[in-house]
Structure 1
Amino acid sequence: MRLGVVCGVLAVLLSGVVAPAAAAPAASEPVYDYAKAIRETVWVDIGHDGDGDGRSDRVAADIVRPGEPTSGVPVIMDASPYYSCCGRGNESELKTYDSAGKPVKFPLFYDNYFVPRGYAVVLVDLAGTNRSAGCADVGGSSDVDSARKVVDWLNGRATGYRAKTGGSPVTAGWSSGNVGMIGKSYDGTVANGVAATGVAGLKTIVPISAISSWYDYYRSDGAVFGSSPAGLAQTVEDRNGGQDCSAQNQALRQGATANGDYGPLWADRDYVTHAADVRASVLLSHGVNDLNVKTIHFGQWWAGLRVEKKIWLSQTGHVDPFDYRRADWVDLLHRWFDHYLLGIDNGVQNGPQATVERQPDLWVTQSAYPAADAVATTLRPHVSGTLGTSAASGTASFTDNPSVGEDTWVTDPGSAALTYSTGTLSSDVHVSGTSSVTVTATPSTSSARLSALLVDLGPATIRNFTGNGEGIKTGTAENCWGASTPGDDACYRITSADVKKVNYTILGRGWADLANYASLSQERPLTPGTAYTMTFRLAPTDHIVPRGHALALIIGGTDGSFIRGPAQPGRLTVDLARTSVSVPLAGVVPAAATHQGRPGGDAFVPSAAQAAQADLR
């Protein structure tokens, strides 16, 4: 047989014909036996002593990788604080271990699907959580280094051990050094933070509903949402006994001042300022109705990136694409990781940049986000109650009432908010990107809040993002994504869209403390009777306001659905000549509407279901 092969090759060479090269693989295939996969834990030294015990903290990296002899294995990493306290995914899966401490259950489907295809999956416990030493610092250097140092270890630049303390050093000789990070919420936030360091070896990140600046998670242009990073730290540290995190938690309490000022603690956790340092490609997903990690996070992060990137925008709230468009998402992830971690030229980086859900389960692609034809358009409120592109004059007043919020403002504002509408639109208007509002207001007291809404007035069927599933219903039947073992199955409950009919859709929200009109770093007492001008952002979106609907701007004080009120709520008078909203839109908005009514007339009455919708926190 060998002689025949040699003779055949010789004949080809003598004839001058070159044998064709083997075709490059189109996709990684499940050729490795998941049942034989190697499961192990390595503790990586991250160079911090967060718990003050005099030892450098080590974080636990649980690894599952092909058991067959192989090298050059790429890694999919999910670094999380939730593997013992709160769970991951729609079914809140936790890590499990056998009696010897060997990892058994790896939450989510990544291991089941990708390990048979030649990948390793590494799930990292952030410092202070589950089996890692140290303390959580909620987006700070310890959180980020918990994952960054594991990337370094996979590339031979950091030290790993077989034990949490002591133990022998261990290297990752099996690793190719190519790492992709993925995760939802806090996990995706860590991916953003690690990517912002520009660490070598991190080839791609997939942040899902992720934070880009911790200030914007707890604060908004000076306004305070209410929760605190110290509370979150204590929650995720709760299952990891033994360490003393009192000093770290106190530092979080002191750094996150009671007011909404942007200080050093927030600056250290602002990844947007380093978005230009990102070298990894980015596949981003976010729900445009996410009221937990609000859409300002994806908008500012996306705008700062200078790398290959794609985006999915759903109508859901805080939901993973695996739970609203499962098959398409798994296929995209497969091709994405194959391209960026295995180097397969499958073209996944080409084509439309954005995929957007227009109606429940109705998806479209567009060449770019924001839409290529969207132009920043200035709209101005008029004393008649209209909203248009022409100049305005006059004043209008409202009385701050922190006991009500956005839904009351839309359906029955009374004296608590001001509403301005374009009137019925004669053609579709596409709002795509981040809007901003500039308000000039004179307060009657020494403290004041401002809130603004951009609203599509008109009937629609949307995902029920304020429901228990934030836009999805979870059934009892399952489908499976990859291979299973007795302790780690690949099967997950099938979901469907949870929808409802509404009479209006809020496209963008924004909140501000007027005391931060001059600087986000230092609030200033207001002088009653003095006019102040402040510009603040509204949440990014991608939405088409259809013909026959109206686009409205609502301005109020304390949106009780979200932010804390001022010490002395009072009356605010708005100078309409110096108040406007800048909206990135494609389409025509009238210079000034001829009437102030809503579509269908002035007597707008919400449905009973819509009127009952209240708590959006």
Structure 2
Amino acid sequence: MNRLFVVTTVAGLILAAIAGCIGEEKSQEDTTDEEPGFLGGFSNTAVFAGDYRMEESSYVSGRVLQDGLYEMLPGEVVYLKSEQLDGTDIQIGIIKPNVPQGVKIPVIADAGPYFTPMPDNKVFQERIGRWAENFVPHGHAFALIPIRGSANSGGGSDLCGPQEAADLNQAVTWLGQQEWCNGNVGMIGKSYDGSTPWEVAATGNPHLKTIVPISGISDMFTLLFKNGTESRAPVVFHTLYYLYGFANNNPDNGRSAKNTAEGIADVSFPVGATMSVYSTLTGERDPLGYWAARNYRPDLEKNYKGSILLVHGLQDWNVDPHNAYPWINTLEDKGLAVKHMLGQWGHHHPDSMEIEGTEHMRWDWQEILLHWFDYWLKGNESVDLGPRAQVEDSSGRWRNEETWPPKDTASVTFYLTVDGKLSTDPSGDSGEASMSILGSSESPVFISEPIDNGLRFAGSPAINLTVTPQMSGGQITALLYSTADGSSMQRVGCGQVDLGFNGGEKRQLVIPGQEMQVTLMLQPLDVVIAPGSCLVLKFTQNGYEDHLNLAPLPVTLAIGGNCSRITLDTFERQDDVFFTPPE
């Protein structure tokens, strides 16, 4: 969800895709008084076999294997009066299947800022086409819920704030209580739309049985800042969402004049922009609670009882994987049913044609979703959910896992030596290297010997460094590469830390000339180093992607012996866990 993503969204370049469908639907009793719980259902089925390609379709992404039984009814638009103090409009668009009278159906909802105002009940929109055409014929209603400040919902952009969450919680409750609904609601979406499911889940809404967050955010601060480093130009970030709210949703395209005026006058933007300036300058959460109100993790851990199908691209630099891991494992350890889908793609849906190289696409993604929604929203326990985790490693091979990161790992440590090596032997002379503030060409680089049998590792590697700041601060960026020939290199990991935030969110005193221990965590990854290849670890004062370095102050790195090292969680897998997705 970086500036490029928002700008392209504002420009209207939103790709959606798909059509298609699968078997007969049954009426389900209202189960809202029951906790969803984990019913079973996971298996070793890697791929639900079938032909996922469509010869004639305006959509170019995945599809379900079989057509559904029901036609889609014309869309309808309803307005709720927000229970917040402003009492503004909450717009909801609904597409339902034409089921027999008396058959109750669940609802799948997408909530976010990117919908158009839906004048004249024009609910069907390209960006939700893949889901409506796949799931509605199979007996699921599909709902669009524009957040406040977007489409024809009133108010202004609250940027994942408490007013927005309260509106969405109210909308989900309303959907679950309709006489045609079986009481069960699921939420799905990517990026911002992948963050709103976390907001409602944090309330413990009894109607919300499952969520499918795709590159979503459960704590806004962790998107914009990490280890004291600023990663998303937060002031610009707030500004773009504010501008999007009224510049692209106005009376010219169906938004009411009243709601347009509310969006322009809303005070959330200046407050958010001010708190962003504060945090950019300090690296800390604000003292007034703006960021705390957008951190849904404590309430999620306490309140949510539903299931989670978590999707993230391991090459996503818009919403880095650390926004999901390792925190999601906390919910898993609490007993929630969690399924992981992790591919070597960027900020995309698993079946998006925008993925860099279609060999990474999952054409069966819609079928996986249909199984998931039938199980959790219809209570159909006969449905096969497939494995708990599917992950694509850096070599492009997919495998099944019990969870992710794997738990059956063994630590392998490489030590930084004075002669520029990554060695598994901590002995040797001691020395130091300077972190360049001028460019990567003068940065310390360390390379391993060829790894004869190759290496497989996953999770968030820890780099433990002994450093001496020359001034009262500094930031360090680490880049991990694989190379087969010593010249061409593939980046497999990256991370950044501010010396003042070593191990926490509160700034610590950095004393010039005083040696200190620093832990730098790389972004979550799943990597294979080919036999005979080498690992390369480079340090710099520069940033990477949108991760800026606002404190390029000179730092000296201690090397040799046990001074500085990188630890990898390695593991092995037999061939029977690997599989080839549909092509």
Give 1:346 deviation, angstroms: 3.3
Code of the aligned partner of 2:162: S
**1:280-359 to 2 correspondences below 5 Å:** 280-306=306-332, 307-323=336-352, 325-349=361-385, 351-356=387-392, 359=395
TM-score by length of 1: 0.71
* Alignment match of 2:523 (pick from 539, 543, 549): 539
* Alignment match of 1:127 (pick from 121, 136, 148): 148
Q: Distance between the aligned counterparts of 2:329 and 2:453, measured in 1?
A: 29
1:30 aligns with 2:59: no
Give 1:250 deviation, angstroms: 1.4
Give 1:359 deviation, angstroms: 4.0
Q: Distance between the aligned counterparts of 1:540 and 1:174, measured in 2?
A: 43
Give 1:119 deviation, angstroms: 0.9
1:379 aligns with 2:453: no
Residue equivalent to 2:244: 236
Q: Distance between the aligned counterparts of 1:24 and 1:178, measured in 2?
A: 14
Give 1:79 deviation, angstroms: 0.4
* Alignment match of 2:138 (pick from 104, 114, 117): 117
Q: Distance between the aligned counterparts of 1:285 and 1:149, measured in 2?
A: 26
Code of the aligned partner of 1:73: I
Q: Which runs of 5+ in 2 are unaligned?
A: 1-23, 28-47, 49-64, 250-259, 353-357, 574-583
Give 1:350 deviation, angstroms: 5.1
Residue equivalent to 1:167: none
- Would the alpha carbon gap of residues 83 and 106 (structure 1) be closer, same or farther in structure 2, given more than 3 Å must change? same
Residue equivalent to 1:604: none
Deviations 1:440-470 (A, max 9, x none): 211222231111122222379xxxxxxxxxx
> Is the Cα contact below 8 Å between 2:311 and 2:340 reproduced in 1?
yes
Residue equivalent to 2:296: 271
Q: Distance between the aligned counterparts of 1:336 and 1:457, measured in 2?
A: 40
> Is the Cα contact below 8 Å between 1:97 and 1:104 reproduced in 2?
no
Residue equivalent to 1:434: 460
Residue equivalent to 1:511: 496
Residue equivalent to 1:47: 83
Q: Distance between the aligned counterparts of 1:400 and 1:552, measured in 2?
A: 17
Give 1:376 deviation, angstroms: 4.0
Residue equivalent to 1:150: 171
SS in 1 for 2:308: strand
Give 1:564 deviation, angstroms: 3.1
* Aligned residues with identical type, % of pairs: 25
Code of the aligned partner of 1:320: H
SS in 2 for 1:535: strand
Code of the aligned partner of 1:32: Y
Residue equivalent to 1:61: 92
Code of the aligned partner of 1:423: E
1:139 aligns with 2:160: yes
Residue equivalent to 1:396: 432
Give 1:535 deviation, angstroms: 1.9
Code of the aligned partner of 1:40: E
Deviations 1:410-443 (A, max 9, x none): xxx432x222232110112111112222222112
Give 1:532 deviation, angstroms: 2.6
> Is the Cα contact below 8 Å between 1:213 and 1:272 reproduced in 2?
yes
1:78 aligns with 2:101: no
Residue equivalent to 2:119: 97
- Would the alpha carbon gap of residues 538 and 64 (structure 1) be closer, same or farther in structure 2, given more than 3 Å must change? same
Q: Distance between the aligned counterparts of 1:451 and 1:552, measured in 2?
A: 14
Code of the aligned partner of 1:111: A
Q: Distance between the aligned counterparts of 2:490 and 2:362, measured in 1?
A: 26
- Would the alpha carbon gap of residues 204 and 28 (structure 1) be closer, same or farther in structure 2, given more than 3 Å must change? farther
Code of the aligned partner of 2:534: A
Q: Distance between the aligned counterparts of 2:517 and 2:199, measured in 1?
A: 33
Moved more, 123-132 or 64-73: 64-73
- Would the alpha carbon gap of residues 96 and 44 (structure 1) be closer, same or farther in structure 2, given more than 3 Å must change? closer
> Is the Cα contact below 8 Å between 1:431 and 1:542 reproduced in 2?
yes
Code of the aligned partner of 2:84: H
Matched pairs, number = 480
- Would the alpha carbon gap of residues 194 and 67 (structure 1) be closer, same or farther in structure 2, given more than 3 Å must change? same
- Would the alpha carbon gap of residues 114 and 575 (structure 1) be closer, same or farther in structure 2, given more than 3 Å must change? same
**1:163-242 to 2 correspondences below 5 Å:** 172-228=178-234, 229-238=237-246, 239-240=248-249, 241-242=260-261
Q: Distance between the aligned counterparts of 2:198 and 2:209, measured in 1?
A: 12
Give 1:567 deviation, angstroms: 5.1
TM-score by length of 2: 0.75
